[in-house]
């Protein structure tokens, strides 16, 4: 399936190898949703996070009829062992160790985009089931960095990114708040694919019944 792929760079030198890597993974998104209209990818170097986590920020925006998904690579620091494992997947491309991190960040963002496309397609088909979700409390949240951690009733910690929070409600979250979430396996451990304040979920269902 052919669709336009747009790549932009900010504080990162553009290269045919990187664009080819992006195009390769963008085309693979059609396995998750067969009606993709376009894909836009923004790659930038974030100098503020040189000491805290990933140096590269990759944003993938995929448009489909009736909606779109936005995904980013994880804001959590890169695990050197996972970087090495992922690096072996791009060993056929001769790149330096520094640029390898960029390829891994792109791969991470596209994996997230694929999961979001699957969720969107299931939602469009009416296949989303409430029993797939669980309740948890906000254990920690870092508004300036755009992520936080949930704590389940069993005491497990689940990473979540602000892009996973429904209704653009990340700014409304605070430690101790109860949320409903759907869990998935990420490259760095368990993470939440969706997070929703329980009060918002209740209000939405109540309004739906009233209608």
Domains of the chain, first to last: 5-124 (3.30.160.100), 131-210 (2.40.50.140)
pLDDT digits (tens, 9 = 90+) for 70-126: 888 875 444 444 444 444 444 443 444 457 788 888 998 998 899 888 888 877 776
**DSSP secondary structure string, 99-160?**
HHHHHHHHHHHHHHHHHHHHHHHHHHTT---GGG-EEEEEEEEETTTTEEEEEETT--EEEE
What pLDDT, on a 0 to 100 scale, did the predictor assign at position 140?
A: 93
Taking a C-beta distance cutoff of 8 angstroms, is the pair 89, 95 a contact?
Answer: no
């Amino acid at each position: 399936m052919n669709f336009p792929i747009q790549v932009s760079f900010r504080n990162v030198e553009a290269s045919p190898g990187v664009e080819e890597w992006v195009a390769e993974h963008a085309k693979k998104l059609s396995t998750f949703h067969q009606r993709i209209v376009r894909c836009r990818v923004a790659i930038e170097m974030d100098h503020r996070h040189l000491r805290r986590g990933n140096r590269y920020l990759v944003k993938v925006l995929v448009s489909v009829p009736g909606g779109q998904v936005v995904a980013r690579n994880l804001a959590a620091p890169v695990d050197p062992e996972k970087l090495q494992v992922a690096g072996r997947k791009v060993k056929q491309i001769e790149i330096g160790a520094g640029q390898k991190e960029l390829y891994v960040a792109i791969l991470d963002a596209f994996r997230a985009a694929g999961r979001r496309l699957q969720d969107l397609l299931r939602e469009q088909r009416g296949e989303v089931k409430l029993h797939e979700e669980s309740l948890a409390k906000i254990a920690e949240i870092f508004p300036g960095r755009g992520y936080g951690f949930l704590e389940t009733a069993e005491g497990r910690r689940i990473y979540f990114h602000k892009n996973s929070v429904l209704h653009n409600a990340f700014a409304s979250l605070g430690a101790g708040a109860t949320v409903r979430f759907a869990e998935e396996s990420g490259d760095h451990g368990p993470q939440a694919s969706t997070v929703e304040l329980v009060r918002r979920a209740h209000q939405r269902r109540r309004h739906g019944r009233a209608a």
